[in-house]
């Protein structure tokens, strides 16, 4: 495996919560191993990796039934290989920064609205 391995970050609420503890989840190629994933993350993001856990998630079996109910099509979702990468203390990846920035902006707006409401209440009392 080369250092240019394609690492797709897994975006969900659970992975966002894990990213707060310096653990990031990536979907990696099926032939990847822990060492190649660690090298690729270190090369692409310039961070220090302390631990890598890999999980092979089997695809779910799916079926569809036609309107008349006579024809049943069976299939399955693709298998996925996930890598849980833990970084050293104090390091992070810029994957979820956009979400954090939006939350900070929303908090700032909420504070401004609260201040305006307090000023309006003071004016009404006078």
What domains can you pick out in the chain, each with its CATH number?
8-95 (3.30.70.330)
Task: Read off the tokens for 70.
Answer: 């006579």
SS3 68: coil
* CA pair distance 53, 22, nearest whole angstrom: 13
Q: For 61-93, write each residue's pLDDT tens digit.
A: 998 888 877 888 889 999 999 999 999 998 888
Contacts of 99 (CB under 8 A, 6+ apart): 16
Q: For 23-57, write each residue's pLDDT tens digit.
A: 999 999 999 999 999 999 999 999 999 999 999 99
Place of tokens 């203390």: 89
Q: How far, CA to CA in Å, does 3 sit from each of 22, 35, 37, 40, 94?
A: 21, 11, 8, 5, 19
């Amino acid at each position: 495996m080369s250092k240019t391995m394609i690492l797709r970050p897994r975006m969900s609420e659970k992975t966002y919560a894990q990213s707060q503890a310096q653990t990031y989840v990536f979907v990696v190629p099926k032939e990847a191993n822990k060492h190649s994933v660690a090298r690729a993350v270190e090369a692409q993001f310039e961070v220090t990796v302390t631990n890598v856990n890999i999980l092979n998630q089997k695809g779910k079996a799916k079926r569809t039934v036609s309107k008349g109910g006579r024809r049943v099509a069976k299939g399955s979702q693709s298998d996925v290989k996930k890598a849980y990468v833990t970084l050293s203390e104090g390091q992070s990846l810029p994957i979820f920064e956009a979400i954090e920035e939006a939350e900070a902006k929303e908090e700032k707006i909420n504070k401004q609205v609260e201040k305006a409401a307090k000023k309006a209440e003071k004016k009404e009392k006078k």
